[in-house]
């Protein structure tokens, strides 16, 4: 199933060409491993959605999925951005924990909109130093749309560190959102951590 426009296709082709032409560090992670990770994550997410549990139960299960399949530490570090530089190690580790709860709560609720739909893996493309697993989300009543998982093996196992839904980038959105939340709290990281925990 292919529904890339010609221009998108050219852009992808270019990206792939650049990825192969520019010398990159040898991949420890293969495309097949990256794809297998996404397949397992999607299966787990689908199982949670169809389990019919309460919202609170689902959020806890989504947190487990994030812990297993996503590099929460890197997503958290990226979201905190420059504000993380002056943070103590204790604050950093508390932030990762609270941020994981916040992510599971936020995206877990959104995944429920995938109920009755399916995510079909299309292909895996090496980009710079990670793998992009391109999938199509097919939801009832909607034209199919692109969801890409960015996968690497930095923590020693395959994990995804970014999710791109029709071009909308999780790392970009969360860096901006966490920045705005921190601004609202006068830059007080401890207050932000406590509030994220309460939201999760």
What residues line the site for other proteins (CB under 8 A)? 1, 3, 5-8, 10-11, 71, 73-74, 76-78, 84, 87-93, 95-96, 106, 109-110, 112-113, 128-130, 139-144, 146, 150, 152, 154-155, 161-162, 166-169, 171-173, 175-177, 180-181, 183-184
Residue whose CB is less far from other proteins, 36 or 136? 136
Q: How far is the CB of 115 from other proteins (least distance, A)?
A: 10
Nearest to 35 by CA among 152, 137, 145, 121: 121
Compute the distance between CA of residue 25 and CA of residue 186 in angstroms, rounded to an integer: 41
In this structure, the strands spanning 145-152 and 130-138 are antiparallel
8 A C-beta contact, residue 136 and residue 148: no
Tokens 């890409």 sit at which residue?
Answer: 148
The Cα–Cα gap between 98 and 113 comes to 24
Question: If you compute the radius of gyration of the chain from its CA atoms, what whole number of angstroms results?
Answer: 18
Shortest CA distance to 168 belongs to which of 176, 160, 158?
Answer: 176
> Would you say 26 or 90 has its CB closer to other proteins?
90
Token pair of 145 as six digits: 């749309």
Q: Nearest distance from residue 109's CB to other proteins, in Å?
A: 5
Least distance CB 12 / other proteins (angstroms): 9
Nearer to other proteins, 65 or 170 (CB): 170
Minimum CB–partner distance for residue 1 and other proteins (Å)? 6
Q: How far is the CB of 36 from other proteins (least distance, A)?
A: 19
* Of 36 and 145, CB closest to other proteins: 145
């Amino acid at each position: 199933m292919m529904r890339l426009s010609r221009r998108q296709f050219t852009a992808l082709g270019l990206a792939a060409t650049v990825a192969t032409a520019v010398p990159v560090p040898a991949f420890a992670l293969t495309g097949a491993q990256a794809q297998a990770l996404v397949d397992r994550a999607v299966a787990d997410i689908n199982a949670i959605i169809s389990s019919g549990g309460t919202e609170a139960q689902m959020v806890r299960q989504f947190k487990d999925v994030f812990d297993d399949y996503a590099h929460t530490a890197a997503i958290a570090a990226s979201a905190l951005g420059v504000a993380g530089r002056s943070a103590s190690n204790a604050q950093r580790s508390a932030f990762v924990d609270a941020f994981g709860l916040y992510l599971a709560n936020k995206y877990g609720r959104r995944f429920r909109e995938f109920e009755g739909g399916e995510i079909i893996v299309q292909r895996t493309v090496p980009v710079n130093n990670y793998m992009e697993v391109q999938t199509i989300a097919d939801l009832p009543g909607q034209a199919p749309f692109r969801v890409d998982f960015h996968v690497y093996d930095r923590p020693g196992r395959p994990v995804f560190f970014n999710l791109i839904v029709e071009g909308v980038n999780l790392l970009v959105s969360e860096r901006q959102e966490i920045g705005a939340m921190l601004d609202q709290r006068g830059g007080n990281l401890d207050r932000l951590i406590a509030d994220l925990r309460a939201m999760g």
